[in-house]
Structure 1
């Protein structure tokens, strides 16, 4: 059984005696604080902090991390506060303990919100000290090792959280050994039957593979000796969860996955890595497009290695990883190796993983600033955590790391939020490309910006990085606020002018009266709610001028003007699809703002009798942009008619947004086309062009 004495003996191999004594002092303090508390397994509670500290000792973490591990549940589970720990053990240890501790017992709306708040708190503490997350991961690792005593439902909940958040964080920090253990233990707790069957299959296959593995291994060793390359060759086995994921994600059978043999070659230095690669490619034929050089361009978590896939005798695929001893150490320990090498005075060459982790934390903070709730923050972090990377270049040759599937818009936001917000187009390898196109490693990306542009809401349909998603939402939310305030102000000014009142001439007493009556904290909030349709401008004029709703003698001053199709708070009804030149009316829809209809639309007939629900609106003389309209075309059914229609419309420089075909009878079909036009004249030209076609029986604008 683990004791403080056996741990102290282990620590004395790499810590100073004074530092070991500090850890022991933290242990005795925690032991006293947790007196009378037990784990579900029946053991004294102090066995858990001791085991967590032991896990940290296995990766040679510093003494302050070990002290924090001893104390990590003291704030949460005893009456001792952060200030007491700070007084006893110093501010740094207290900060780590506080960062690892869950939030005080607050009533949350849901378990998801509770988890999200706790994770958000931990992320903020990580930004101050990365040791917070290493202590938290070791705490979670011991919890996963002792899941047995928990009820099944709680087991599954903890396992799910581990697979969704903690395993990806361990991966992001380069702590591969911990990630594998998190995944395998999480998988066994989430899907015990699947894990048991897969493990049994793996045991069965292992015996059959042994001879082949030994044969390939001896061939590689002999080739390396012939080339006078000293290296250790190890046969690698895939872990359970990765086999399960590949079976599910790539729809492969167990036999197909186990048909690949994997080896790792560990050599002295980087130069020898490339020599070993040449030797392997001489021994077996390499598969095209399967070579990856993570030494020249390390992964985002600091991982370095050469990867290649070769074809052995009888067509057996062989995966080979080639790396140095230091790279192998960093691959298994990741960020934790920073403290190990720091204590050995070799920090400079080993802190790449640490720097990358710091960059990731900085990105987390940026995401946090742009999100509205802790649940949204955690969702964004999940998106960002567990993806393969692509590496692309800026025009100046700098490397930008992005998740696989990232687009030019993701790239723009990775460079800078302002570049993303003002992005209008891109060039990939000096050729124009769509902003939504997925990028590939090695491409050179140039973003074209314009000072007057802003993010497009449609970007949310294809961006995949959390930073881009959060920044676009943040901008649109602010833009919506600005537009709703502006729209509400115009609507109130117009309503007041009908009563011969002026907004800027209202007295403080009148303004105060309006705010109190409507329970709004400011005029800005009032304008926003008018713009969003939460309250009508007519209701405000009635407060200022009682009886005004009965006054039928209204002037129609200053109707609202439509200047473009892109406003967030002026939308166009899909039932009648108004375009510039159409006589229009608008009504205020709660939460949506102003919805514009054609005057002839049947759907606004019901609103005509409701006083104040319809507003005058007109098209600005400067209106520009493309508006959607629908055309109903009756045609004789014949082969190629849709292609002919599309060609005819394309010749008028008009884009088709949608096509719907309905058969009317055996000889005739009705085709409804959604086209993007600038005004009524443009639409008339499109319809005239279609009407001249031989197969077309009639063309009309689609009715409500």
Structure 2
């Protein structure tokens, strides 16, 4: 464990004017406060805040941040209070520590709501002082480095949260080294086999290509020196998670990757950046479409650099990044390298009048996310806003709009202004009429066509990529459907309370709204109608002592007073059956299984599109048919065109399937196979070998040489379906395979 004087020395290396007495007091106070507490590893708990402080000294942060790191768990995990810390260390440090403290006594029913409210509190604290974020990221990094000591059942949750929130936050703040380490540590926990496989392949490649890397470094540096450009050149291999992400994104194998190594060229000035680019492009052939100028157009996180890919020695594709030393510092440390809270001497607490683009973006995002979203929406939209990949588009007047990868003109319209998005009816991309669902590309000029008579369809929420657009669509359509959802939710609640033997009243529900993270009873009923709040959670919010019936006390099947047919124990969907009807003996339990889709409450009958089904991984919508229930369609289904004039019937739904679930979902494919003996057996064998289940088969003659097989199959998810289709295409008897989207 680091000694007191060692910590002081680490700070003094970059800040000779450090307040040694302040650091000493914080060290001793935190050590005494945590006392005999131990971490899961058996180490003294104080070793954790000490390591967090050490990570922040590597980022060369001010005294107040280092002290806050030492104290960051004292309010949460010891008897220390904010008042005491403010008395001993001042208001600034006390505020930072309080901002890092989770809300302990959240009286909320849902774990997701608790997570969202703690995240909301953290982001609001970050908006006041970015140093809260820097300490939190260092805290998460050390927790990930010691993840092996965490109970196994919690590791995946911590790793997934890191991948969803903290790594993207680090990326948005330009802290690439920290982002990459967080991603790799999460990837190693969540996909250990894939991580080890890629790490092993990279190691083999490193041994085989070591000479190539040195050759490129030497040749490039010599060439720049001959042209009078002093430069530092260093090679760097991609990390496993980055490699995995590219393989997944482009659906390619490891052998097809061409830029596993990148080279940084560090020069003295912006002018030298463009001169070095000219030298590189003169010496080696450029790969078309791979040049990006982030110096003239910086990324929102302040990242500046020239990117190009060339065909280098031995016909190897080589990725080059050209930047100045100042740009390199910001690329590595992001907002921590920015003089946001340090003066020239690095004195603690000094604030400058300007703020970085990254921090300005964060403040604006937090402001947008705080406008009346439910906890679930807040968590979802925060994740959406944090993803880093960008495309840069322009308005007709030349205004630059930065959007996430795969953004559409709908996202563009809402980025311009909420009113523009709400009234959008069409668009022009580079002067040509295009659908509002088109995927935008770098450099596109987008013109939005509007109409005051337009209101955004609810289906846009499933198409939009940005959190801002999704939130705006949801707000705009909420008023139109609120009464419908609230009325449905109220009836569901009344029936649930009666079944539980509890008195239902809107006043009682209103008093229980804080435990459901809602502000009014009408919000609760609407959430129940949408399926966002379970009726069991609602009853517990009103009657905290109530417990749902135990599984062993439930009958497998029963008809209740409302004519609803309950499924096998443990299932959560109910199907309406005609009055007076009885369950059929031997009814197929698989077909009556629960459909784990978020956004649909358990009291509505649900079915899949009859001509093609839907599987996890598809972007889906639900269509409500009064008296019949909800039908789930893939977003690309042509059948949805018949519902375009009835936006009130469109429901917001999401898959909510556990990765380890063994549930299967319906899909339909058409296989064109040679008319030869054994062709059907080969097709069925390919499906069976990949774990698919054939649910129905229809043979259609196409010609004397080929015939079509219309096959209904059951699969786990979209990836499983694509694997089966790829295996079928590889069979010699198969000429074509296509999926049916009914």
Give the TM bin, normalised by the shorter chain. Answer: 0.5 to 0.7
Question: 2:72 maps to what in 1?
Answer: 72
Question: 2:667 maps to what in 1?
Answer: none
| Distance change (3 Å), C-alpha of 1:33 and 1:456 | same
Q: Does 1:327 align with 2:330?
A: no
Deviations 1:329-364 (A, max 9, x none): 00010011124883327999x999833222233213
Describe how 1:287-686 pairs up with structure 2 within 5 A. 287-339=287-339, 342-344=342-344, 354-372=356-374, 374-481=375-482
The structural deviation recorded for 1:301 is 1.3
The structural deviation recorded for 1:110 is 4.7
Contact 1:99–1:121, Cα closer than 8 Å, also in 2: yes
Equivalent position SS for 1:457: coil
Contact 2:369–2:378, Cα closer than 8 Å, also in 1: yes
The structural deviation recorded for 1:236 is 1.4
Structure 1: distance between partners of 2:279 and 2:624: 68
Question: 2:736 maps to what in 1?
Answer: none
Question: 1:51 maps to what in 2?
Answer: 51
Equivalent position SS for 1:42: coil
Q: Does 1:184 align with 2:184?
A: yes
The structural deviation recorded for 1:404 is 1.5
Structure 2: distance between partners of 1:311 and 1:521: 67
The structural deviation recorded for 1:74 is 0.7
| Distance change (3 Å), C-alpha of 1:529 and 1:284 | closer
| Distance change (3 Å), C-alpha of 1:460 and 1:228 | same
Q: Which runs of 5+ in 2 are unaligned?
A: 489-503, 512-519, 531-622, 629-643, 648-697, 703-742
Larger gyration radius, structure 1 or structure 2 = 1
Q: Does 1:219 align with 2:219?
A: yes
Deviations 1:240-264 (A, max 9, x none): 2112222333333333326654211
Contact 2:335–2:356, Cα closer than 8 Å, also in 1: yes
Contact 1:303–1:353, Cα closer than 8 Å, also in 2: no
Structure 1: distance between partners of 2:323 and 2:426: 40
Equivalent position SS for 1:392: strand
Structure 1: distance between partners of 2:273 and 2:487: 63
| Distance change (3 Å), C-alpha of 1:33 and 1:320 | same
| Distance change (3 Å), C-alpha of 1:435 and 1:313 | same
| Distance change (3 Å), C-alpha of 1:345 and 1:293 | farther
Question: 2:166 maps to what in 1?
Answer: 166
The structural deviation recorded for 1:52 is 0.9
Contact 2:168–2:388, Cα closer than 8 Å, also in 1: no
| Distance change (3 Å), C-alpha of 1:224 and 1:485 | closer
Structure 2: distance between partners of 1:518 and 1:69: 45
Structure 2: distance between partners of 1:526 and 1:441: 43
Deviations 1:605-654 (A, max 9, x none): xxxxxxxxxxxxxxxxxxxx9679xxxxxxxxxxxxxxxxxxxxxxxxxx
The structural deviation recorded for 1:481 is 3.6
Equivalent position SS for 1:334: helix
Number of residue pairs the alignment of both structures matches: 523
Question: 2:245 maps to what in 1?
Answer: 245
Q: What TM-score do you get using the length of structure 2 for normalisation?
A: 0.64
Deviations 1:217-245 (A, max 9, x none): 22212221221111111111111211222
| Distance change (3 Å), C-alpha of 1:521 and 1:181 | closer
Question: 1:508 maps to what in 2?
Answer: none
Contact 2:340–2:355, Cα closer than 8 Å, also in 1: no
Question: 1:153 maps to what in 2?
Answer: 153
The structural deviation recorded for 1:216 is 2.0
Equivalent position SS for 2:264: strand
| Distance change (3 Å), C-alpha of 1:29 and 1:626 | closer
Question: 1:118 maps to what in 2?
Answer: 118
Question: 2:10 maps to what in 1?
Answer: 10
Equivalent position SS for 1:41: coil
Structure 1: distance between partners of 2:10 and 2:522: 66
The structural deviation recorded for 1:97 is 1.2
Equivalent position SS for 1:384: helix
Q: Which runs of 5+ in 1 are unaligned?
A: 488-514, 535-591, 598-602, 604-624, 629-661, 667-704
Question: 1:579 maps to what in 2?
Answer: none
Structure 2: distance between partners of 1:364 and 1:147: 29
| Distance change (3 Å), C-alpha of 1:526 and 1:264 | closer
Deviations 1:570-610 (A, max 9, x none): xxxxxxxxxxxxxxxxxxxxxx9995x9xxxxx9xxxxxxx
Q: What TM-score do you get using the length of structure 1 for normalisation?
A: 0.67
Structure 1: distance between partners of 2:522 and 2:259: 67
Equivalent position SS for 2:200: helix
Structure 2: distance between partners of 1:304 and 1:125: 28
Equivalent position SS for 2:459: helix
| Distance change (3 Å), C-alpha of 1:131 and 1:593 | same
Structure 1: distance between partners of 2:357 and 2:102: 27
The structural deviation recorded for 1:517 is 9.9
Contact 1:407–1:435, Cα closer than 8 Å, also in 2: yes
Structure 1: distance between partners of 2:366 and 2:173: 14
Structure 1: distance between partners of 2:105 and 2:524: 36
Equivalent position SS for 1:304: coil
The structure that is helix-richer by fraction is 1
Equivalent position SS for 1:343: coil
Q: Does 1:63 align with 2:79?
A: no
Question: 1:687 maps to what in 2?
Answer: none
Deviations 1:403-435 (A, max 9, x none): 112122211211222222233333333433322
Structure 2: distance between partners of 1:364 and 1:333: 22
Contact 1:383–1:464, Cα closer than 8 Å, also in 2: yes
Structure 2: distance between partners of 1:627 and 1:210: 62
